Amino acid sequence: MKSRTTGRRHTVIGVALTALMLFPVYWMLNVSLTPQRDMRKSPPGLFPLHPTFEGYRAVLNDQLPYLGTSLLIGLGTVALTLVLAAPAGYSLARLRPPGAGPLRLALLVAQMIPGIVMAMGFYGFFLDLGLIDSWWGLIVADSTISVPFGVMIFAAFMAGIPGELISAARIDGAGTWRIFRSVVLPVSRNAIVTVSLFAFLWAWSDFVFANTLDGGGGDMRPITLGIYHYIGNNNQEWNAIMATAVVASVPATVLLVLAQRYVAAGVTAGAVKD
């Protein structure tokens, strides 16, 4: 009886904490549906009694190009991250190249560098290369965050692949590249989904790189900059601002829901050793 009571208490506490953390999300949705005339009502309404979709119409009119740019940058970052991180992770896990230990340390250190420090370094470099105000420049910048993480995830996952599979492929005459492409990648689905998801979310939510590498004259701006400039230009239209935030949150939410079981398996890869 005591354990059952303790379990119920823990459940209630968990539900309360979850509701507390999700309340800003609910409030964002509530404000996005609130008419402009009710925005300054005191006390504010907990529910939109007269819901309106004016804010969402403004999103479709003003923010759709930014959403398309963010989608392009996110998918490009995923592609570049997988192309670089998967072979590097396989090399660290199976080929054991010289300097693998220092390289792992360098990857860890790279993830500790604040984004603003990297952004300031990128600005001068990208300015010389003409990458300011370009979506592919942002893909390169965002990949510098996701690639080190991806290499570590792939290395941990691929180290746990049974050696018998690779040995059998070698006996059949497969070379290193063929083993990686035909044996290792197909069984690394969880790691691929995990790395892809995090790479997309980082690129989708990036503001530091986008704002730093924006020269002010480009049209290819991500949704984070779209919201930022929208707040500056329309700081009274909070239903439209919150509607933009809701729409920008939908892709990330859908991806997290669909990929959660793959992510759980991917991030715990290598945690248990035989």
Q: Are residues 12 and 125 in the same domain?
A: no
Q: How many angstroms separate the most distant Cα atoms in the chain?
A: 75
How many domains is the chain partitioned into structurally? 2
Question: What single-letter DSSP state applies at residue 268?
Answer: T
Q: Are residues 71 and 129 in the same domain?
A: yes
Whether 274 is in a domain gets the answer no
Q: d(Cα 146, Cα 62) in Å, to the nearest integer?
A: 30
Report which listed range, 36-40, 81-85, 136-140, 229-233, is most confident: 81-85
CB 137 within 8 A of CB 251: no
CB atoms within 10 A of CB 221: 22
**Confidence class for position 272, pLDDT limits 50, 70, 90:** very low
**Confidence class for position 77, pLDDT limits 50, 70, 90:** very high
Last residue of a domain, one of 52, 71, 86: 52
Q: Are residues 70 and 34 in the same domain?
A: no
Query: Residue 147: enclosing H or E segment and its boundaries?
Result: helix 135-159
The full length of the chain comes to 274
- What's the pLDDT score for residue 218? 59
Q: Are residues 219 and 106 in the same domain?
A: yes
Q: Are residues 81 and 41 in the same domain?
A: no
What CATH number is given to the structural domain containing 74? Answer: 1.10.3720.10
**Confidence class for position 200, pLDDT limits 50, 70, 90:** very high
Residue 177, pLDDT > 50, answer yes
User: Nearest 5°: CA angle at 261, between 259 and 265?
Assistant: 115
- What's the pLDDT score for residue 151? 92
- What's the pLDDT score for residue 234? 58
Looking from the CA of 190 toward its CB, the CA atoms found within 13 Å total 19
Residue 53, pLDDT > 50, answer yes
Residue 51, pLDDT > 80, answer yes
Q: Are residues 116 and 16 in the same domain?
A: no
**Confidence class for position 274, pLDDT limits 50, 70, 90:** very low
User: Nearest 5°: CA angle at 89, between 85 and 90?
Assistant: 120
Q: Strand, helix or coil at 24?
A: helix
Global pTM reads 0.81
**Structural domain of residue 32, as residue ranges?**
1-52
**Confidence class for position 8, pLDDT limits 50, 70, 90:** confident
Residue 268, pLDDT > 60, answer no
Q: Are residues 178 and 86 in the same domain?
A: yes
Q: Are residues 62 and 89 in the same domain?
A: yes
- What's the pLDDT score for residue 2? 58
Q: Are residues 114 and 235 in the same domain?
A: yes
Q: Are residues 10 and 104 in the same domain?
A: no
Percent share of the chain, pLDDT over 90: 14
Last residue of a domain, one of 10, 25, 52: 52
Whether 194 is in a domain gets the answer yes
